[in-house]
Amino acid sequence: MKTTGNTILITGGGSGIGRGLAEAFHALGNHVIVAGRRKEVLDETTAANPGMTSLTLDIHDPADIRSFAANVATRYPALNVLINNAGIMRVEKLQAQQDDLADAEAIIATNLLGPIRLIAAFLPLLQKQPRSTIMNVSSGLAFVPMAQTPTYCATKAAIHSYTQSLRHQLRASTTEVLELIPPYVATDLMGGASDPRAMPLDKFISEVMEILKTQLTAVEICVERVKPIRFAAESGHYDAVFDGLNRQ
């Protein structure tokens, strides 16, 4: 991925990994647009980064996604990078779920249907550009699940699979498809911001940007800390990694 001279849209860009990526790309001179549902968080991000743009988006709402994409295409016709980062993670007790499965459905709508709908909405614009990039953010938990967050892990596994298919279908086009696979990072997701076991956010972002700058053919962006879980099955350590993640 070319890391300069882009117009970049990042969902969930007001906090956590999304904000970290937004600020790193902004520092390289890209025009960065952060999108999300929480206007106050977006405003804090743009206030701290003059020149960055924010737009509200309800990623649960298919009609809002379509109108959002049309608005972006009109205002920012040079958009050439879409980073699908928005996500939610909730503990689910499968033997005591709500009858309406509200948590599971919200996670699927945000983590899986949201990126699928955004890609469908933005692909025509991206394919008009000389070069463009779609980056989907999955998780190490796509490869070895943490059992207390089953739907989150399932959506990230689905994003991994969907990204592979998308990459194959676009292989002859000028749109590259990348997958960013974070480990456990110190963000507000599931209270990880203060957990000493989590990878510090600044170190994660720094390593990601270095990979993007130097490993130009990489389609999976894996920092060193995520590799044991990403390649647990290939290395023959799946059961041990699963037990380590899910030890009570």
The pLDDT of residue 79 is 98
pLDDT level of residue 194 (50, 70, 90 thresholds): confident
| Cβ pair 107, 90 in contact under 8 A | yes
DSSP 200: P
| Three-state SS annotation for 102-151 | HHHHHHHHHHHHHHHHHHHHHHHHHCCCCCEEEEEECCHHHCCCCCCCHH
| Cβ pair 10, 41 in contact under 8 A | no
pLDDT tens per residue, range 81-104:
999 999 999 999 998 888 889 999
pLDDT level of residue 77 (50, 70, 90 thresholds): very high
CA nearest to 206, candidates 25, 11, 51, 12: 25
pLDDT tens per residue, range 120-148:
999 999 999 999 999 999 999 999 999 99
What Rg value do the Cα atoms of the chain yield, rounded? 17
- Taking CA 7 as the corner, what is the angle to CA 47 and CA 168, rounded to the nearest 5 degrees? 130
| Cβ pair 67, 58 in contact under 8 A | no
pLDDT tens per residue, range 107-118:
999 999 999 999
Phi-psi sector, 140: left (phi>0), alpha (psi -120 to 50), beta: alpha
Q: CB burial class (10 A; 0-12, 13-18, 19+) of residue 3?
A: middle
Q: Is the pLDDT of residue 192 over 80?
A: no
pLDDT tens per residue, range 64-73:
999 999 999 9
Q: Is the pLDDT of residue 16 over 80?
A: yes
Q: Is the pLDDT of residue 188 over 90?
A: no
- The model scores a pTM over 0.85: yes
Indicate which residues carry an active-site annotation: 152
Q: Does the domain made of 7-246 have the CATH classification 3.50.50.60?
A: no
Domain locations along the chain: 7-246
Residue carrying structure tokens 């041990």: 240
Beta-bridge partners for 185? 199
The pLDDT of residue 191 is 67
